[in-house]
Structure 1
């Protein structure tokens, strides 16, 4: 499928993006390109998955005012991954630095550059940092290697399900906040969107992540897409690019 097919799919399938149409089309193009680049498991392909996660996270944020709109847009765009996988990729993007550090801390022969492998390494590093070795004692000195392996596999499955549930809860909370904010804005909402307004902490955090991609993207195209997302975020707050960067405390 060509990149353009993804950007047109949502509209063709009846999804009304409204004022987010151009922004979501750009994100769909990024997701499409990066989806083609992840055929093999390597550090580079994991970075591509991260880029998909960043784009999905931005789309989820843009659509948070309407409950379920993010997943409806993904389904309408016919992206080649499930709802659970979308949340997994967003988790990868949001915790990229820690995940990358956890994988690179392993012996080279033990490093797994798949999304699941990298996130599992990160989760294991977090448990170790907290001194969480209690689960290993359950196996006991006399347990067989097969029994320990089975317990570890079940634990990873439960942790993955928990991560997906927490991501879903976060999505619902964000949708509820967006709905309440929309109801209180009233008739003056559209006018306020065109005026400069303070940048909230959540937006600053997202802008900081996208800024890193803008400054250190692997390709000029990736940097350009990140710049476009920052421009879009700045417009939402009635600012130009430089003013928005200063408001978010981004490095020059």
Structure 2
């Protein structure tokens, strides 16, 4: 499509992948997470999510091998945009898609009954049930949205870098750092936190070397936890 390295087949595949990933998320919740949530211990759910992710990655590696592949091998010429920054058409397209998705999720969480129900459930599940919120329905919608966004994120990484079973593993620490820096539950905070972490890592690669890239995320994460544990846009619970 135009100067992009991909065309309509990838867009169709993305739509199919979103549907498949959403179904997989619902299946995981039914088989694993729903039973663990009933025990009321969040740490167990968190640890189970790590275990499930490793199992799925290993299954993908067994099925498709760990050899990296690419959506496209087309070579793109990066265009200068000022301040020594260069950007490719693919990166511009993905930035626009990210902005649309972030704005859409923000509207969902702040302007719809479903979004308000999600926020209520995250703050107090017992009280949400008392006021008549269909907890099971909200959980299903949350898994569907989460799975769909995870699929889009995976395709973005594949377009910009490469496709391999463990391609998201290196993103775990930066994602946690970005979420905590911006404030858990804040969509604008997550975006700002992601930008700060991304720029910090890119600067570390340029100034002190690529081997220190992960350390930058860890240092920022620890600094935020010590200075402001609720993050930039977080709200203290009362």
Scaled to the shorter chain, the TM-score interval is under 0.3
Whose radius of gyration is greater, 1 or 2?
A: 1
TM-score, normalised relative to structure 1? 0.26
TM-score of the aligned structures, taking structure 2 as reference length? 0.28
